[in-house]
Amino acid sequence: MNKYLLPIYAIIIGVIIAFLTKRQKSIYTKLLLSFSGAFLLALTLFDLLPEVYEHLDAKQSGFFIMCGILLQIILEFFSKGAEHGHVHIHKEDTKFPWILFISLCIHSFLEGFPIHQHNDMVYGVFIHKIPIAALLTSFLLQSKYMKEQAISFILVFAAMTPLGTLVSNLSSIDPHILISINALVIGIFLHIATTILFETGEGHKFNLSKLVAICLGILIAYFI
């Protein structure tokens, strides 16, 4: 049951953080983002990647992983990088951001697929979603969108990852196709995690606190 509920809990926690930090992008949110990037990357390398290369031909695995990277680049063209903390919403804009919404939903739906076969991945998704939900909620609160639209945005976004896990769990998709989808998601995770890790901090400084957060993320993922 946790594989369905943890991604939803992550959104709830992120929303609470957004209210507690008074709608500002705090240093703690940035550190959590760095930790989540390292944690997600490590779990992907330790758990998902070996299985994909075990069941698929090496070149085929690489192909689907590259397709995942390319897909995430395309999604970010429309979402402007919201998947790794870059939420750009114009405060005076009253038009609902459908492109951002659809891009985030596709991303969230796909990241639910590996959770069915790899329960540990739900922790990576859980940690990844908390700072994203916090940042997304902060910008929605500052926007001019109708309150009902903002709430619906968060609710549907929260449901997409469990929906992806449910489809993976209950559908009669061929196992080979599921492994291929997992390879696609690896590419998505690799792009997001490395983007988070290699982005510089304020003033282009790689500070000690960020380094500690990254190391902790890797170590915890290793011992899970």
Q: Which domain holds residue 66?
A: 2-84+92-223
pLDDT digits (tens, 9 = 90+) for 34-74: 899 999 999 999 989 998 999 899 999 999 999 999 999 99
pTM of the model: 0.87
- pLDDT score recorded for residue 165: 92
- Distances in Å between the Cα of 215 and the Cα atoms of 82, 144, 207 are 24, 39, 13
Task: Give the number of domains in the chain.
Answer: 1
Residue 204 is given by DSSP the state G
Q: Tokens for 113, please give them.
A: 């697929």
pLDDT digits (tens, 9 = 90+) for 31-41: 888 899 999 99
Average pLDDT score over residue span 192-207: 72
Q: Quote the mean pLDDT of the chain.
A: 85
pLDDT digits (tens, 9 = 90+) for 71-85: 999 998 887 777 666
Rounded Cα distance, 47 and 102, in Å:
28
